[in-house]
Amino acid sequence: MESLRLRSPHSPLLHPGRHGRFQPPFSTGFHLTAAKKGPYIKAALSKPAAEISPAVTSRESTLLSPHPPSSTNKVSPNSLQYPSGYLGAVPERTVNDDGDNITNAMNYLTNILASKVYDVAIESPLQFAPKLSERIGVKLWLKREDLQPVFSFKLRGAYNMMAKLPKDQLKKGVICSSAGNHAQGVALSAKTLGCDAVIAMPVTTPEIKWQSVKRLGAKVVLVGDSYDEAQAYAKKRAKEEGRTFVPPFDHPDVIMGQGTVGMEIIRQMQGPLHAIFVPVGGGGLIAGIAAYVKRVSPQVCWLLCKNSWQSSFSYDLCGIVVKIIGVEPSDANAMALSLHHGERVVLDQVGGFADGVAVKEVGEETFRLCKELVDGVVLVSRDAICASIKDMFEEKRSILEPAGALALAGAEAYCKYYGLSGENVVAITSGANMNFDKLRVVTELANVGRQQEAVLATIMPEERGSFKQFCELVGPMNITEFKYRCTSNKEAVVLYRQQYYLKSFLYFKCSVGVHTVAELEAMRERMESSQLKTYNLTSSDLVKDHLRYLMGGRLNVADEVLCRFVFPERPGALLKFLDTFSPRWNISLFHYRGQGETGANVLVGIQVAKNEMEEFQNRANSLGYDYVVVTDDDNFQLLFH
């Protein structure tokens, strides 16, 4: 059975981060006020009062982190949410005049320049994307790290660290824990350097992944049901055998290796560059790119301006400043939250759709660099990531993994939000190790992410002729899915999906007969004027993942508690769940929704009396699966009660 880490329902509240400030290199402490073009937000917004609660005993430690969580603060991804494309989590800079920052920056710069990553990596091409550029109104360039020998940038950092090991240490071998791209990077690096490599992977790792690592010559050890157990094994064995543990991101040599991506972009890019969009997980890639670009590209600007520096200064006057913008999934925003709070925090749960960036805590060194050098973080939805995977396929006939399409999704959203026009923008396509099963989810959500398809629900009376009236009011709109079931009530709910397209020069071009957002709104108004209440449910993951498949008449079930669980990918996960709740309580609803190799979201209805809720919660917590109660969700009440 597959499993997927649960995406928490989005909070309806808007929590904007600080915006509109830029720092000169070497952290002088002075602020540059961003001069905006078009519909920019100019004001620097204050930090929202998102509470950080003390950590409790966690059911699992940091996902994909090289060490257990060191932060004492746990936060929810929902505590920091802002519109897609908005540049939030802009870090505040502090004054530091002791010169350490400059010395440290030069160390990174010289080591990136001297890196030997090209023993295994290629200088990936920087390709122009003409179709996407025409659509969004900028000059969009794709840094094709998905074309590396292991289809990911990860081999750069792994090789750079391993190549610097003393010969006697290299002879003892290396070890790492990974179920994805880092494992292949370490394996190929070890093969090139002629050293022994052990890769610890969870027993639930799909065969296609561990076989690909094994073919590269590494010894694969399948151990533990989770990444954390595999990591603990790897670190223990490293100490016992004297092997070197190779972390996925939080090590200076790993960061320097990833920084060669930034070096290549500056060398390859002709003309002024507005921004580089970088996918963020633990932070190794963006820290490395920022460490190079921010120390090279803006230096002339700083030298020209430092003698007449003022507290407020438009960066438009310093035209060669390049923004380094991180992109994270809205349900896996560990870096954004850390920058927002000024310290590393641990997510209480993390969405796993983009599993390559699904971390609960960013690295210590990566955070330090990002706090000094990064310009902010853009958050995007799962739908937007799916849309960008489709965009990349139509542009280059290449299929990216979700984490690999993350930067592209962020670049598209940012350019749309700020009305950017004519600027050079780079998005890093960081990986192409796509699981084939996940393509089903991508195809279902891509048009929603493109804003070309809407999920709607209409309430209509249960009487003769009402269905015909509904169809007449819909008109010529193209319906791709329709669900209706007669009930014993006086009203029925129709759930359906409609295709539409944005008629805009900058974003979506139209052909004759294609419907627009305005026409969609006109259809909804026709429904409302005929007393047919219509709801737009497009943004609800609960509807898209579960409720749309369960339509068939509404029913009131006594004492029903509705929960979304994350079933881990390991044998016996379902039986463990049933042993926890059955036969103590009746299970009234069960919908399993696999999303590729990373797992499954499961919607469960359980009949629990009010005086038994404390016992239910205790059992649910002891189960050890991430879950959230959604009984009071408005869309569930609309469709099923």
Task: Provide the mean pLDDT of the chain.
Answer: 77
Q: Which residues of 425-441 are buried (b: 16+ CB within 10 A; e: fewer)?
A: bbbbbbbbbbbeebeeb
The CA radius of gyration of the chain, in Å to the nearest whole number, is 25
Mean pLDDT of 414-427: 94
Residue with the larger pLDDT of the pair 351 and 88: 88
Among 176-190, 411-425, 597-611, 616-630, which is the least confidently predicted range? 597-611
Q: Phi first, then psi: what are they for 140, rounded to 5°?
A: -95, 125
Among 102-116, 359-373, 383-397, which is the least confidently predicted range? 102-116
Q: How confident is the model at residue 477 (pLDDT cuts 50, 70, 90)?
A: low
- pLDDT at residue 69 tops 50: no
Of 198, 186, 263, residue with least CA distance to 234 = 198
CA atoms within 13 A on the CB side of 23: 24
The answer to whether residues 555 and 600 touch, using CB atoms and an 8 Å cutoff, is no
Residue 36 falls in the annotated catalytic set: no
The catalytic residue among 74, 154, 416, 544 is 154
Q: Which two tokens stand for residue 535?
A: 């709801």
Q: How confident is the model at residue 185 (pLDDT cuts 50, 70, 90)?
A: very high
- pLDDT at residue 371 tops 80: yes
The answer to whether residues 407 and 360 touch, using CB atoms and an 8 Å cutoff, is no
Q: Which two tokens stand for residue 557?
A: 């079930």
Of 512, 486, 399, residue with least CA distance to 446 = 399
Task: Please give the helix or strand (H or E) that residue 221 lies within, else none.
Answer: strand 219-222
Among 38-52, 103-117, 354-368, which is the least confidently predicted range? 38-52
CA distances to 243, 460, 474, 526, 570 from 520, rounded to whole Å, are 61, 18, 9, 10, 44
Per-residue model confidence as pLDDT tens digits over 220-236: 999 887 677 888 899 99
Among 98-102, 141-145, 483-487, 519-523, which is the least confidently predicted range? 98-102
Among 62-66, 212-216, 434-438, which is the least confidently predicted range? 62-66
- pLDDT at residue 512 tops 50: no
- pLDDT at residue 607 tops 70: yes
CA atoms within 13 A on the CB side of 264: 26
Sequence-separated (6 or more) residues with CB below 8 Å from residue 68: 61, 62
Burial of 621 (0-12, 13-18, 19+ CB in 10 A): exposed
Q: How confident is the model at residue 599 (pLDDT cuts 50, 70, 90)?
A: low
| pLDDT given at position 600 | 75
Burial of 284 (0-12, 13-18, 19+ CB in 10 A): buried
- pLDDT at residue 103 tops 90: no
Q: Which two tokens stand for residue 129?
A: 């994307």
Mean pLDDT of 1-6: 34
Task: Please give the helix or strand (H or E) that residue 393 lies within, else none.
Answer: helix 382-396
The answer to whether residues 353 and 4 touch, using CB atoms and an 8 Å cutoff, is yes
| pLDDT given at position 524 | 76
Highest-confidence range of 13-22, 90-99, 381-390, by mean pLDDT? Answer: 381-390
User: Considering the chain, what percentage of its residues have pLDDT values greater than 70?
Assistant: 71
Q: How confident is the model at residue 121 (pLDDT cuts 50, 70, 90)?
A: very high
Residue with the larger pLDDT of the pair 454 and 249: 249
Rounded to 5°, angle at Cα 119 from 118 and 123: 25
Q: Which two tokens stand for residue 46?
A: 């204050």
The 275-279 sheet, strands edge to edge: 126-128, 139-144, 424-429, 275-279, 323-329, 376-380
Sequence-separated (6 or more) residues with CB below 8 Å from residue 324: 275, 276, 278, 286, 289, 290, 293, 294, 373, 374, 375
| pLDDT given at position 363 | 92
Per-residue model confidence as pLDDT tens digits over 290-339: 999 998 875 433 333 443 333 333 333 344 589 999 999 999 999 999 99
The catalytic residue among 27, 61, 133, 430 is 430
Strand ranges (DSSP E) for 500-572? 534-536, 560-567
Q: Which two tokens stand for residue 125?
A: 């091409």
Measured distance CA(66)–CA(228) in Å, rounded: 10
Q: How confident is the model at residue 48 (pLDDT cuts 50, 70, 90)?
A: very low
- pLDDT at residue 258 tops 90: yes
- pLDDT at residue 22 tops 70: no
| pLDDT given at position 57 | 28
Instruction: For residue 513, list its beta bridge partners.
Output: none
| pLDDT given at position 30 | 30
Per-residue model confidence as pLDDT tens digits over 142-160: 999 999 999 999 999 999 9
- pLDDT at residue 539 tops 90: no
| pLDDT given at position 516 | 59
Residue 76 falls in the annotated catalytic set: no
Sequence-separated (6 or more) residues with CB below 8 Å from residue 330: 10, 77, 81, 84, 351, 379, 380, 381
Highest-confidence range of 61-70, 242-251, 572-581, by mean pLDDT? Answer: 242-251
Q: How confident is the model at residue 29 (pLDDT cuts 50, 70, 90)?
A: very low
